[in-house]
Amino acid sequence: MCRSQSNTHANHHQEKTLFQCNEDISHHAHNGSNTDALILFTQLREFGFKPNASTFSSVLKSCAKLGFLQMGKQIHSEVIKLGFESDIYCGSSLVDMYCKCREFHDATHLFDKIPYRNTVTWNALIVGFSQAELYDQALDIYIKMREMGICPSAITLSSVLASCSRLDVEEDLKKIHALSFKLGLQSHVVVGTALIDSYMKSLKFTDANKVFNSMPEKNVFTWTSMVTGYSQKKQPMEVLKLIQEMRRANIKLNQVTYNGLLSSFVSPEDLDHGKQVHCQVIKEGFELEPHVSVALITMYSKCTSASDFCKLCSVTPLYDQVSYNSVIAGFAHLGYGEEVLETFARMNQSLIKPDFYTFGSLLQAIGTLSTLEHGKQTHALVLKTGHFSNPYVQNGLISMYSKCGLLDEAKLVFSLARELDIVSWNSLLAGLSQHGKGLEAVEWFEEMWRVGVKPDHTSFLCVLSSCSHTGLVEKGLEYFDLMKSDRVALAPRVEHYSCIVDLLGRAGYLNEAEELINKMPIKPEASIYRALLSACRVHGNMGMAVRAAGCLLELCPSDASAYVLLSNVFGEKGYWADKEHVRMLMGSNGVTKEPGYSWVGICNEAQTTLGKDLDDPLSLDAQETLV
């Protein structure tokens, strides 16, 4: 509303009653025209309009929604001047305004001065603290409210339930659920939705479903809470069933629903569903909505569809920390390290500050590229911006230094970390294993077990690989048995069996390795037979090599390694005709061997050379430097 229009309205309102003026201001505030409400109030005051408690309540709500703290304080002064500070409606609105503006000391001080406080007054404080993510304080205020004998409303319970889910206090959650039954609010759509959201966040899916199925009325937020819960549990089929039921109930999906739906697609098998949802998003006009566009970018990266991911990134504007983080994380996940560095540079040029999530993805990419100088620069920036104490960043640093081969630096960061988790230990174990420190990796694994950190699949993969490469056959088999024991109860995956086959094969126990493969409770994959075939080449077992190569080619007919390893076995045994036959068969089947390549850091950049490019100037320079 322009100033001339406001004056016209103000003149018009001179002829109106106080009730009519309050109605107009309240109408603006209620309809979201908060700026218009405040302009009208200011103009009316200039023409001698005397507000009452209802007027102040409306304009204070507008100040709260707009975050206009200074104007709110000016109105507070008028409230005191006209003697309305003890009015319950003005007092509640003032508490709400100060909470929304994050002035919690003033809000609490004012709350304590209000002589009579009803449910609305208590709600203003509880909701304010809960929305500001001060969940402990919100729960404490609720407890005081109950001690004072004040009956909570649906809004009270929904806010307190939000706090319970964040604090993971299951006992309090159950008490509030019981109280909702006592008060007859268990079927209230706001309370029911809050209960579902809380149970989902606490991973109590059975309880959430019970509440959902008992609700006579469900709105889009109720359905979205269910969708989001199953999405976080990575159950896309359950999410899709809910979406189908939601549509049958004629409930239209909103942006948050689509966000939850897209977040449930996290593997290549989910890509087709993700694309179908993308089409629906475009049809309903949500594609450029910030949260939905970020969810689409994340979905394509997790489903490893690099072409769709890059295509979407090229048309999606990056405007804030969340959008930049989604693209940086996506490139890092897909292994596009150079693109991560470029996007991070653009983020800095746009003066958007990185957070712990940005640094975690950036360090992952640097570890993949093994560009140590970038890693050190990022470490310095982490310290400068105060993010070093974040566990996510510390794990990124441990992993980055480990992959770059600076194991002492990785161990130093590990020793400085305040909150060591399984990722911290695994990052260090992986670094030691990858850089030929097998015995040390075994020692760290033993230490991990000693301090009470339960190893996971990745931990065992690292230590089994270390045992394989250091010839610790008995130790490796001991860890493999430990993995399957009741003490750990982890079912070995294909990659663990592959390590054991490699362990036995390297040590010359080829029959034992083949027997293990034949007794596997899961179907062997290419890596299993590749490990056995490699061991057959080392130990010259031609018969077993033929069997392993046959199984490998049955699984992967275009796998070049099967042909190359088998031909080498024949060649080393002097069966030149057989070697030539395998090579000819490889060519007739259209199978080509990808050339090996190396990279080396030159001038802070990763330079790549193929194995066949031995005469390339860059390759010659690198060879001369290494010599």
Report the sign of the C-alpha dihedral through residues 71, 74, 75, 76, in that order. positive
Q: Exposure of 596 by Cβ count < 10 A (0-12 exposed, 13-18 middle, 19+ buried)? A: exposed
CATH 1.25.40.10 residue window(s) in the chain: 493-594
C-alpha distance from residue 284 to each of 142, 193, 279, 295 (Å): 41, 25, 9, 16
377-384, long-range: CB < 8 A, 24+ apart: 381/354
Q: Is 370 left (phi over 0), alpha (psi -120 to 50) or beta?
A: left
CA distance 551 to 544: 11
Q: Count CB atoms within 10 A of the CB of residue 48.
A: 7
Backbone angles phi, psi at 169, to 5 degrees: -105, 85
H-only helix segments in 318-416: 321-334, 337-349, 356-369, 372-385, 391-403, 407-416
Enumerate residues 6+ apart whose C-beta is below 8 A from 38: 59, 62, 63, 66, 68, 71
> Quick one: DSSP state of residue 522?
S
Enumerate residues 6+ apart whose C-beta is below 8 A from 194: 157, 158, 159, 161, 162
Q: Is 556 left (phi over 0), alpha (psi -120 to 50) or beta?
A: beta
Q: Count CB atoms within 10 A of the CB of residue 86.
A: 13
Backbone angles phi, psi at 79, to 5 degrees: -60, -45
CA distance 408 to 405: 9
Comparing CA positions, the residue from 227, 159, 234 lying closest to residue 195 is 159
CA distance 156 to 90: 19
C-alpha distance from residue 268 to each of 257, 271, 370 (Å): 22, 5, 27
Enumerate residues 6+ apart whose C-beta is below 8 A from 13: 20, 21, 24, 40, 44, 47, 49
Comparing CA positions, the residue from 2, 72, 94 lying closest to residue 39 is 2
> Which regions in the chain score pLDDT beneath 50?
1-8, 10-15, 626-627
Enumerate residues 6+ apart whose C-beta is below 8 A from 553: 559, 562, 563
At 344, list the tokens.
């991070």
Fold type of domain 493-594: 1.25.40
Which residues sit opposite 608 in a β-bridge?
Answer: 599
In 436-540 the beta strands, taken as DSSP E runs, fall at none
Q: How many residues does the chain have?
A: 627
Give CA 72 to chain center in angstroms.
Answer: 38
Enumerate residues 6+ apart whose C-beta is below 8 A from 500: 464, 468, 476, 477, 480, 513, 516
For 143-179, give one letter per residue: b (16+ CB within 10 A) or e.
eebeeeebebbbbbbbbbbbbbbbeebeebbeebbeb
pLDDT for res 3: 44
At 220, list the tokens.
């889009």
Q: What is the pLDDT of residues 210-219, one digit of tens each?
A: 999 999 889 9
Q: Exposure of 349 by Cβ count < 10 A (0-12 exposed, 13-18 middle, 19+ buried)? A: exposed
pLDDT for res 582: 65
At 590, list the tokens.
């259209």
CA distance 189 to 222: 7
